[in-house]
Amino acid sequence: VSDFHLVGRLAAGDKEAIAELYDRHAARVFALARRILRSDSDAEDVVQDVFSQVWRTARRYDTARGTVAGWLLVIARTRAIDRLRARRIRPEGADTPLETIAAATVAPPDQMVSDEQADRVRRALARLPDDQRLALELAYFEGFTQSEIADRLGTPLGTIKTRIRTALITLRRSLRA
């Protein structure tokens, strides 16, 4: 049974379908939330948030928007970063609208990320120069804007932009290799 089929059953209120989705994807959702929040108990709360949101909104899930796993992970990242931000005091005017993350980062359904590609990206991320990796991780896993990262690291904004762009280009190439 495909994920898409399960989401269709969710929309009809089928609790077995959400149990099946949970069994398939909870470990990835949990891992991502833990990486972002660095707390098991907060990550568990995110898992709960993600699956309850999926349950409530399955009817509005648009297959054209991406794979089901990608959708779950986008929700997980958004929810986890929301929590992270609630924990810290944000400088004024420095908000990345999270809905733009949700809108922009769902992979198209015809192109699923393979485990092998995820492995390659993981290795490429580990091989990045420290300053590039740090900037990118602050952006991706901690939801900081580029100016927040610049402030935090005491580095000019232009330098941070360059580091993030360079890191993204390297990682994008690693998808193909």
Q: Interface with another protein by CB under 8 A: which residues?
A: 10-13, 15, 18-19, 22-23, 26-28, 30-32, 34-35, 43-45, 47-49, 51-52, 55-59, 66-67, 70, 73-74, 76-77, 96-98, 100-101, 104-108, 111, 113, 115, 117-118, 121-122, 125, 139-140, 145-146, 161, 164-165, 168-169, 171-172, 175-176
Q: Which is nearer to another protein, 44 or 131 (CB)?
A: 44
Q: How far is the CB of 175 from another protein (least distance, A)?
A: 6
Number of H-type helices and E-type strands within the chain: 9, 0
Give me the least distance between CB of 110 and another protein, in Å please.
10
Cβ nearer to another protein, comparing 117 with 155: 117
- Nearest distance, CB of residue 4 and another protein, angstroms: 16
**Cβ of residue 77: shortest distance to another protein, in angstroms?**
6
Rounded to the nearest angstrom, the gap between the alpha carbon of residue 23 and the centroid of all alpha carbons in its chain is 19
Q: Of the candidates 56, 28, 30, 32, which has an alpha carbon nearest to the alpha carbon of residue 45?
A: 30
Q: Which C-beta is closer to another protein: that of 98 or that of 153?
A: 98
Tokens 């993030």 belong to 164
The sign of the torsion formed by the CA atoms of 157, 163, 164, 166 equals positive
CA distance 135 to 160: 7
Q: What are phi and psi of 143, to 5 degrees?
A: 70, 20
Radius of gyration of the chain (CA): 17
Nearest approach, Cβ of residue 5 and another protein (Å)? 16
User: CB neighbours (10 Å) of residue 150?
Assistant: 18
